[in-house]
């Protein structure tokens, strides 16, 4: 009997232990989540570019001679800094140099001839005046006086013709000089030589109409840069000239550059298979920043539309469908789904107008599996400890 009782007791103990073990394993374990406190701070309403923007030089000239020929001088190299008016490239032009000298000499000769003809005309007029006075005193015949006047008039015409010839020769000098200028590339502004396509003694030809060819010299003004970025058409209506902006460049990691909107395109870009966008240009505010930039850097921009200071805010990632959050209840260590009223928002923070108080904890890892209203949770930091 005692043996049977002991068996029954041990059997009941085993059953109770099994049930306790089953209950322990079957109960819901708290879900580890990330949380953040509702706090006061600054929230900015911003818009950002839809695709990567590009740092662009304010002035960039892709230069090529307007005439073909053999490169005779190439006094610059890639990376050289040049001044406005400096010679960048010159084609062989000794024939044009000689032609220019010839036309200058011809112009000088024609000018001298014109001066001589005009001096003769002055002399003829003085002679005509003397003959006219003598005619009044009856000392010469009327025929002689008429001949002197005709000679003076003819001398005037010769003077005028000589001056016209001199002007033609002077104009020919300009034509020859302009033709010579076609063989030279002159820097139109201060900048840096980005690229050279050609070597000494190589032949270059001008681009055919409608066909683009590589420029002989690519000159960039490295003292002025701006960012050009596409903004979605639904966002650009709130963008205005002069608004502040923050620029991030891939080359500088998380560093942010201050900027200001300087231009909004007057048309919508409708590119195939892409959202319709409007190009917005942002200038860099700080001169020290500009000296660190290179044309062609990829960049992103945030244009600041509105700023709310010292307002309640939460991380934007805590929002569910833009109107709800999971609020943590410290008493029973569960979360409740709560409706909130939001204000200004950006990628980082969202303004809270109603539904939460300073110090409340909200779940930021809202996509965690099993997370729902009333579920027990624990902070990931507590779990790590």
The domain limits of the chain are 42-57+223-384, 60-91+184-220, 94-180
CA gap 16, 5 in Å, rounded: 16
How far apart are alpha carbons 344 and 22 in whole angstroms? 50
How far is it, in rounded angstroms, from Cα 106 to Cα 169?
Answer: 6
Give the model's pLDDT for residue 189: 93
pTM: 0.63
User: Distances from the Cα of 163 to the Cαs of 118, 151, 313, in angstroms?
Assistant: 9, 18, 85
Output the pLDDT for position 149.
84
pLDDT at 287: 86
The verdict on domain 60-91+184-220 having CATH code 3.30.70.890 is no
Write down the pLDDT at residue 5: 67
Q: Report CA Rg, the chain.
A: 44
Can you tell me the distance from the alpha carbon of 341 to that of 112, in angstroms, rounded to the nearest whole number?
A: 92
Residues facing residue 231 across a β-bridge: 278
CB-based contact 82:193 (threshold 8 Å)? yes
**Looking at the chain, how many residues does it have?**
385
- Cα–Cα dist 242/10, whole Å: 85
Give the max Cα distance, the chain.
186
Is 2.40.30.170 the CATH number for 42-57+223-384? Answer: yes
What's 274's DSSP letter?
Answer: S
Alpha helices (runs of H) in the chain, residue ranges in sequence order: 2-26, 94-136, 142-181, 287-290, 380-384
| Helices 94-136 and 142-181: angle between axes, nearest 10 degrees | 160
Let me know: does 231 contact 198? Beta carbons within 8 Å. no
Element (DSSP H or E) covering residue 55: strand 53-57
Residue 301: how many other CB atoms lie within 10 Å: 24
Residue 20: predicted pLDDT: 62
Distance separating alpha carbons of residues 165 and 51, to the nearest angstrom:
64
Q: pLDDT of the chain along its 385 residues, tens only? A: 466 766 667 777 777 777 766 555 545 578 899 999 999 999 988 888 888 999 999 999 999 888 889 999 999 999 999 999 999 999 999 999 999 999 999 999 999 999 998 998 898 888 888 888 887 887 778 888 788 888 888 888 999 999 999 999 999 999 999 999 999 999 999 999 999 998 999 998 877 776 777 889 999 998 889 999 999 988 888 899 999 999 999 999 889 999 999 999 998 887 766 788 999 999 999 988 888 888 889 999 999 998 999 999 999 999 998 899 999 998 888 999 999 999 988 888 999 999 999 999 999 999 888 888 888 898 887 443 3
Q: Give pLDDT, residue 303.
A: 92
pLDDT value, residue 7 = 67
């Amino acid at each position: 009997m005692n043996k049977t009782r002991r068996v029954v007791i041990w059997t009941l103990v085993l059953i109770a232990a099994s049930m306790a073990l089953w209950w322990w394993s079957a109960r819901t374990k708290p879900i580890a989540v990330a949380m953040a406190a509702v706090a006061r701070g600054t929230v900015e309403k911003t818009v950002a570019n839809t695709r990567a923007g590009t740092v662009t030089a304010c002035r960039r000239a892709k230069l090529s001679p307007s005439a073909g020929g053999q490169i005779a001088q190439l006094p610059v190299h890639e990376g050289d800094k040049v001044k406005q008016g400096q010679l960048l490239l010159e084609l062989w032009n000794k024939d044009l140099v000689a032609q220019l000298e010839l036309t200058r000499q011809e112009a000088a000769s024609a000018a001298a001839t014109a001066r001589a003809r005009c001096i003769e005309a002055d002399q003829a007029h003085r002679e005509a005046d003397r003959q006219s006075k003598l005619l009044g005193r009856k000392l010469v015949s009327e025929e002689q006086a008429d001949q002197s006047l005709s000679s003076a008039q003819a001398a005037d015409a010769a003077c005028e013709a000589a001056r016209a010839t001199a002007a033609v020769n002077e104009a020919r000098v300009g034509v020859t000089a302009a033709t010579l200028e076609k063989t030279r590339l002159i820097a139109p502004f201060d900048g840096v030589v980005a690229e050279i396509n050609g070597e000494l003694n190589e032949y270059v030809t001008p681009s055919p109409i409608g066909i683009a060819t590589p420029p002989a010299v690519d000159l960039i003004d490295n003292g002025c840069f701006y960012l050009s970025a596409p903004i979605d058409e639904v966002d650009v209506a709130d963008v205005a000239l002069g608004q502040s902006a923050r620029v991030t460049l891939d080359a500088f990691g998380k560093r942010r550059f201050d900027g200001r909107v300087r231009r909004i395109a007057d048309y919508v870009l409708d590119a195939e298979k892409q959202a319709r966008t409007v190009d917005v240009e942002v200038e860099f505010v700080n001169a020290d920043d500009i000296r660190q930039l290179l044309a062609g850097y990829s960049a992103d921009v945030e244009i600041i539309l509105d700023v709310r200071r010292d307002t309640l805010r939460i991380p934007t990632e805590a929002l569910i469908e833009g109107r709800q959050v999971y609020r943590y209840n410290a008493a029973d260590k569960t979360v409740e789904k709560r409706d909130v009223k939001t204000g200004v928002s950006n990628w980082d923070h969202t303004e809270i107008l109603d539904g939460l108080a300073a110090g409340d904890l909200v779940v930021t890892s809202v996509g965690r599996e099993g997370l729902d209203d009333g579920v027990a949770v624990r902070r990931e930091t507590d779990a790590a400890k």
